[in-house]
Amino acid sequence: DTGVSQNPRHKITKRGQNVTFRCDPISEHNRLYWYRQTLGQGPEFLTYFQNEAQLEKSRLLSDRFSAERPKGSFSTLEIQRTEQGDSAMYLCASSFRGEALGYTFGSGTRLTVV
Amino acid sequence: GESVGLHLPTLSVQEGDNSIINCAYSNSASDYFIWYKQESGKGPQFIIDIRSNMDKRQGQRVTVLLNKTVKHLSLQIAATQPGDSAVYFCAENNFNKFYFGSGTKLNVKP
């Protein structure tokens, strides 16, 4: 499978717990993006990386959220002290040098905080 | 921030009919737009794109129209099929990221 891979597909956690999601982009893509999507809404930009550098973070990315891409390949998104409002689909996308045509989304990780 | 919105949240069409999904955007400086299709449990899938120096672009069974004067996009799907049932989003590209509207759900009735 040469698409964008996200794991896990589903995560149920208790409020206050930490969770970590992983995204494996398309191998030749140097840009990686994280989005959050709540039910009935379009995806909202969270942050993006070019190689290992995190170039931009949205105001939506509170201090409890941290993203890394240590070797410029896969990325992790961690949410600390989860809240019920964090329940959403977390989508990863990758592209080559920001070229929109090759902008490919993964299937997402659905987080439910109970 | 940018605002990308849709006129209709749900659209029901008969199989074989043409579908038109509309979208309004607010940032007149946006120069690139994409329509995405999202099926249940999947990530958004690219359908068709258009740059601001164009007013129409055609793909296979799909056409995107751009009216910069009124900041409006539309997606036309010809001969709609059951497999077209999904949520459709328009998105504008600005500084390497996309801003999405809230989506239109397309229901195709057999």
Average pLDDT for B49-61? 95
**Under an 8 A CB cutoff, do A40 and B103 touch?**
yes
C-beta separation of A49 from A75 below 8 A:
yes
Whether the pLDDT of residue B19 is over 90: the answer is yes
Tell which A residues from 43 to 102 touch B, by Cβ distance under 8 Å.
43-45, 48, 55-56, 91, 93, 98, 100-101
Residue A109 is encoded by which pair of tokens?
Answer: 């990780």
**Under an 8 A CB cutoff, do B89 and A107 touch?**
no
C-beta separation of A65 from A22 below 8 A:
no
What are the pLDDT digits (tens) for A89-106?
Answer: 999 999 887 666 668 899
Reduced 3-state DSSP string for A39-60: CCCCCEEEEEEECCEEEEECCC
The pLDDT value given to residue B1? 39
Produce one character per residue of A80-112: b if its CB has 16 or more CB atoms within 10 Å, e if not.
Answer: eebeeebbbbbbbbbbeebebeebbbbbbbbbe
The pLDDT value given to residue A101? 64
The three-class DSSP label of residue B99 is strand
The pLDDT value given to residue B2? 42
How close is the nearest chain B Cα to the Cα of A27, in Å? 18
C-beta separation of B3 from B26 below 8 A:
yes
What are the pLDDT digits (tens) for A46-100?
Answer: 999 999 999 999 988 899 999 999 988 999 999 999 999 999 999 999 988 766 6
- Report which of A42, A33, A38, A55 is spatially closest to residue A106, judged by C-alpha positions: A33
What are the pLDDT digits (tens) for B36-52?
Answer: 999 988 899 999 999 99
- CA–CA separation, B88 and B86 (whole Å): 6
How close is the nearest chain A Cα to the Cα of B3, in Å? 11
Average pLDDT for B92-96? 81
